[in-house]
Amino acid sequence: MIGTESKKQEILKAYQFRHACKSFDSNKKISDEDFHFILETGRLSPSSFGFEPWKFVVIQDASLRDKLKPVSGGAQGQLPTASHVVVILARKKEGLRHDSDHVIKMMKDIHHMPEEVVQGFSDFYKSFVETELEDNDRLIFEWASKQTYIALGNMMTTAAQIGIDSCPIEGFDKKQVTAILQNEGIINGDDFGVACMVAFGYRQEDPKRPKTRQNLDEIVEWR
């Protein structure tokens, strides 16, 4: 039990440490080992139907960051200074059809479903998309985008646990960012759209005030 209590305190300490870092110490870089560890926790994150509707694009090229900066108002401090910037892509309708290459690959090659299971699972998934998501392009993309936030949260928490700062970023023009990534050949066709960004690095200074949150009894109701 002592080990369990120690682990719980370690995890809570990481949550207290984590804050939305607006700019980073550009002279300090995350090691390849540490950043691959962060990415691995994103890869291992859960997803609906196990279809992993995401792609993590690590933007290290300074000229590409410069192109993104004018259309990313919420990343003005992060893009020039972060050790690593990740653009998280979410699959769109074409990439999440029940008969798409990706979905078939996930069922057969990743989850190794027997052929008889594939057909039943595919039919169930097709029905879900048609009924719950109305077979609608926007609803399907939003459904996929919401799942990327699970991976996003896991990567930021992992980073905090090893003393690395982060900042989730939604403040950008999706159409213009998408156009830039298309021009760079990062997004091809209609399979992916931009869900969010996240920057990682080391803070220049500690936050000016301690973390503030509502009390637990204000946000939790027991029935």
**Structure confidence at residue 182 (pLDDT):** 97
**Structure confidence at residue 157 (pLDDT):** 97
pLDDT-based confidence at residue 1 (cuts at 50, 70, 90)? low
Check if the beta carbon of residue 181 is closer than 8 Å to that of residue 175.
Answer: no
| Alpha-carbon span 42 to 68, nearest angstrom | 23
Give 52-74 pLDDT, tens digit per residue: 999 999 999 999 999 999 999 99
2 pLDDT more than 80: no
139 pLDDT more than 80: yes
Give 68-107 pLDDT, tens digit per residue: 999 999 999 999 999 999 999 999 999 999 999 999 999 9
pTM: 0.95
**Structure confidence at residue 96 (pLDDT):** 97
**Structure confidence at residue 78 (pLDDT):** 98
Give 12-53 pLDDT, tens digit per residue: 999 999 999 999 999 999 999 999 999 999 999 999 999 999
Task: Report which of 13, 191, 217 is spatially closest to residue 105, judged by C-alpha positions.
Answer: 191
**pLDDT average, residue stretch 178-184:** 97
Reduced 3-state DSSP string for the chain:
CHHHHHHHHHHHHHHHHCCECCCECCCCCCCHHHHHHHHHHHHCCCCHHHCCCEEEEEECCHHHHHHHHHHCHHHCCHHHHCCEEEEEEEECHHHCCCCCHHHHHHHHHHCCCCHHHHHHHHHHHHHHHHHCCCCCHHHHHHHHHHHHHHHHHHHHHHHHHCCCEEEEECCCCHHHHHHHHHHCCCCCCCCEEEEEEEEEECECCCCCCCCCCCCHHHHCCCC
Mean pLDDT of all residues belonging to the chain: 96
| Alpha-carbon span 24 to 35, nearest angstrom | 16
Percent of the chain topping pLDDT 90: 95
Of 35-39, 170-174, 209-213, the one with minimum mean pLDDT is: 209-213
| Alpha-carbon span 82 to 167, nearest angstrom | 10
**Structure confidence at residue 3 (pLDDT):** 85
